[in-house]
Amino acid sequence: MYSSKIIHVDMDAFYASVEQRDNPEYRGKPVAVGGSKVRGVVAAASYEARKYGIYSAMPSRTAYRKCPGIIFVKPRFEVYSGVSRHVMAIFRDYTDLVEPLSLDEAYLDVTRNKLRFSSAVLIAREIRARIKAETGLTASAGISYNKFLAKIASGMNKPNGMTIIPEEEAIEHWAIQMVTRRNPTLFPGPLIVWGWNKEAEHKAALVLELAEVIPGCNIITMPDYRPIYPKIDPEAVINPCHPNLTIQHNKIEVCALVGIHCHFANITLKMIRANTNCYTTALCQYDGHEDALLSIRDLNADKLEKLIAAVKRVLKEGTEPWALTSAGKAELEEIKATKTREKPAEKSEATLFMADLEQGLDENAE
């Protein structure tokens, strides 16, 4: 199995850097694109301006108050667009799978690239070098196996930096989120729940073990929607008010979908994240899920064992789980009490009911 190779390239202080490139007198000085001393909003700020706490979308009067020496420059969007087209053309020399997010950043899937490079690091390094040589600007890059982590990585070593987040770090991060956030929940799907062979049975056992090692973890099985795909109403899968997003009316703030068919997982993840603060992750048997905040792909027994080991490790290192905090203990006690109170009737109770009914029929018999 291969792992996806995703690069997120983000131009450094793009608008402001173009102005400093084209106007040597601005170099090394605090520059704000957009606004003026008396009115307007800062569209972009150079790194020199950011040292004064100036950032995009800040009122320009506030920026001037923070840095009286700041240089306000009128934006030249036609120039920025031209530079952006040049940069995007560089990206497409390596892959057609380019997803621009704005004029100054894009995702590149270089898993299978035009130059047949096996290393995403080499591609990112070459792209950054070409951008510098051909445009005179710098760019930062993040590399990982999914888009979310690649975007995080690109911002970790700015400006003009490059960061890699391997899967091992992602697993560690996943373990910390599952342990420390409120009401951790696993949503196993048909690929796990259905034990159609020994491998599936082994995975199911490991998922149960994973739930056991995460303090306060819940398990909610997901139905199989494949027979009605693609004619499926997303609201029928899950939505922010769906009971599956709560445990006895208490919100789930971290969850992992395990072994759910990719199409439905993407729909489900979108619905979970809509208007909620749920940190949604996916543990997928095949491809990663583009809508997950964190996705672990090619899930097999070995990888599940790594997840279990990671949870045990973060607990051993002293990470305090949500379930052992005072708020977590109180909420879990409340959940337990509610479950006990709303527990369905036992079969024996149904038998007693039938006996009462038979007695009543005898008493009223003529």
134 HSE (CA, 13 A, CB side): 17
- Whether residue 18 contacts residue 26, with contact meaning beta carbons closer than 8 Å, is answered with no
Q: Which two tokens stand for residue 301?
A: 């027994």
* Beta strands in 12-138, from DSSP E residues, in sequence order: 31-33, 44-45, 71-73, 98-102, 105-109
Cβ atoms of residues 279 and 253 within 8 Å: yes
Q: What is the pLDDT along the chain (366 residues), one digit of tens a residue?
A: 456 899 999 999 999 999 999 999 999 999 999 988 888 999 999 999 999 999 999 999 999 999 999 999 999 999 999 999 999 999 999 999 999 999 999 999 999 999 999 899 999 999 999 999 999 999 999 999 888 789 989 999 999 999 999 888 889 989 999 999 999 999 888 767 666 678 888 888 999 999 999 999 988 887 665 555 555 555 555 544 454 456 556 688 898 988 876 666 666 777 666 666 788 888 886 656 666 778 787 788 898 999 999 999 999 999 999 999 999 999 999 888 887 887 776 766 655 555 554 555 455 555
CA-wise closest residue to 331 among 274, 247, 254: 247
How many other CB atoms sit within 10 Å of the CB of residue 220? 14
* Strand duo 105-109 + 6-11: pairing: antiparallel
The end-to-end CA distance of the chain, in Å, is 76
CB 8 within 8 A of CB 2: no
Residue 54, amino acid:
I
For residues 282 and 248, give the distance between their C-alpha atoms in angstroms, rounded to a whole number: 23
Q: List, by residue range, all CATH 3.30.70.270 domains of the chain.
A: 6-12+78-165
Question: What per-residue confidence (pLDDT) applies to 159?
Answer: 94
Q: Distance (Å, rounded) from C-alpha 5 to C-alpha 10?
A: 16
Both tokens of 175, joined, read 């373990």
8 A C-beta contact, residue 264 and residue 225: yes
**What does DSSP assign to residue 59?**
B
User: Looking at the chain, which residues constitute the CATH 3.40.50 domain(s)?
Assistant: 171-324
**Which tokens in the block code for residue 22?**
């084209």
Q: Which fold has domain 171-324?
A: Rossmann fold (3.40.50)
Name the token pair of 281. 């992750």
pLDDT of residue 28: 95
CATH of 6-12+78-165, one of 3.40.50.1950, 3.30.70.270, 3.90.550.10, 1.10.630.10: 3.30.70.270
With vertex at residue 29, the alpha carbon angle to CA 24 and CA 34, rounded to the nearest 5 degrees, is 90
